[in-house]
Chains A and B, each alone.
Chain A
Amino acid sequence: MTVSIHVNEKAFGRAVVLDDIHFDIQKGEFLTIIGPSGCGKSTLLKIAAGLDTEYSGSVEINGREVTRPGISQGFIFQEHRLFPWLTVEQNIAADLNLRDPNVKKTVQELIDIVRLTGNEKAYPAELSGGMSQRVAIARALLREPEVLLLDEPFGALDAFTRKHLQDVLIDIWQKKKITMILVTHDIDESIYLGTQLAILRANPGRLQKWLPIELLFPRNRTDTSFQYLRQKVLEEFEKTEHSVYAEGAGI
């Protein structure tokens, strides 16, 4: 097992956000987590990253307990969060020295992988949102993380860019064999990318359904099997919505 997450309870003040969420994922899996807004899926990812440590439970990566953020749990934020004063290659290198030929070579390889060749010397202000997010991905990959955590990374992008970046991400996942956990609110995205799919429900955030996705890559959104899975996820959503209304809470 590589990533093992046990959250007994996570609360903000009196409001319980996450309740009894336990799961393990194997090395090389691509887990997508989907759920309505307010179900605590981003919080769960921050706990996995070590960015949030105020909860009861534990997170282990390869048997090592995660107590603070670090490079072995790469994290991609919703916004790219590049350093505006550094160029693309400097941003990817960040605290590593670009004059080191090894670093320089790996940085260049990653720039090629995320398809940004020719933009090495550009500043973030000169890049589009999709390009910036790819730089952020390359920055995380350079540190060779054991697991890459992505918090709605393509949420702010237009449909075309999003589709493109999803393919880039699958490409990277297949080449680098990194375990990935991606949080999203886009059902298509969760089925298109994941090998495992976790559906969360809100108030409090609980694991509603765990769904393995055994479609082969490259996947096709218009496939009947794809549409069938989509149907299943939607059904689960409907159940969670009913329960939400039954408990008298709004979304």
Chain B
Amino acid sequence: MKTAAFAELNGREKTAKVRKARKVPGWLKGFFVPIIILAVWQYAGSAELISATVLPTPLAILLSFYELAVSGELAANMQISIARAAGGFLLGGGLGLLFGILVGFSKKTESYLDPSLQMLRTVPHLAVTPLFILWFGFDELSKVLLIALGAFFPIYINTFLGIRGVDAKLFDVARVLEFSWRHQITRLILPAALPSILLGVRLSLGIAWLGLVVAELMGSSAGVGYMIMDARQFSQTEKVFVGIIIFAVVGKLTDSFVRLLERKLLKWRSSFQGTN
């Protein structure tokens, strides 16, 4: 009797322990799949199941990354790439925000501008690449403009929709409280449209990054995209991988930055956060 009870207790304790051990912190869960893939990949490379020119091992890529970092080549290329992406994003995103606000505020500007902008939007911005090269040459200008063109539309559309989505009932409140025109914008419309605008910023950043890759792959003498093209010609596959990984990491970092901004600026929101 006594031993049975003890065993049961013991068993209960064990299940409790197992349950505790299974509780993985949220941020760790994201690492699970990549680590398994890396392990299998490294094994396949080391056992020479795959040729190194087709798929270099993770360690070879890491080594190449180290060499590029030490020589300063990587930093120089990244600097140029980031400057291009940032320039294009600021230009396109800034104009998108401006036009989104203008069109969002006035029915008149909407009927004049929106149809043309919507028509331009449906043209894949990568399809106008040859035209941009023809007009603006091979140097920085064409690249920045290509990125700006892509970054324009997500911010434009989301700012416009955000402003039009402001609750009409709150406009009544603004009228009763005699808000000035300026306060109507700063205290009502922009805060209400902010979730939408930030979503536009995130999407625009993604597209700016995409535009950058295309612009640099199509012809340039510096930048991460150039580094990739250059390495490809010499079959330095591990260098190609370094470039790709850099694109991925920087892209993810900028996205995380905007999400952090969202959490800070939109802490008043009480919306569904997803289930576990």
Contacts and interface: CB of A to CB of B under 8 A. Distances in A.
**Are these two chains actual partners, yes or no?**
yes
Contacts of B268: 84-86, 123-125
Find the residue from B172, B177, B270 having the highest chain A CB count within 10 A: B177
Contacts of B194: 85
Nearest to B271: A125
Contacts of A170: none
Interface string A15-54: 0000000000000000000000000000000000101000
A225 B180 CA distance: 49
A237 interface: no
Contacts of A219: none
B178 interface: yes
Interface stretch (A63-71, A181-189, A194-202): A63-71
B189 to A, nearest CB: 11
A83 interface: yes
Q: Is the interface of A mostly helix, strand, loop or mixed?
A: loop
Interface in A46-101: 49, 51, 68-71, 73-75, 77, 79, 81, 83-86, 94-95
How many A residues are at the interface, by size bracket? 20 to 34
B108 interface: no
B269 A95 contact: no
Nearest to B186: A95
B173 interface: yes
A81 B270 contact: no
Contact of B169 (A81, A123, A139, A140): A81
Interface of A: 49, 51, 68-71, 73-75, 77, 79, 81, 83-86, 94-95, 123-126, 139-140, 143
Interface of B: 169-170, 172-173, 175-180, 183, 187-188, 191-192, 194, 266-270
6 contacts: A70-B178, A81-B170, A84-B269, A95-B180, A123-B268, A124-B268
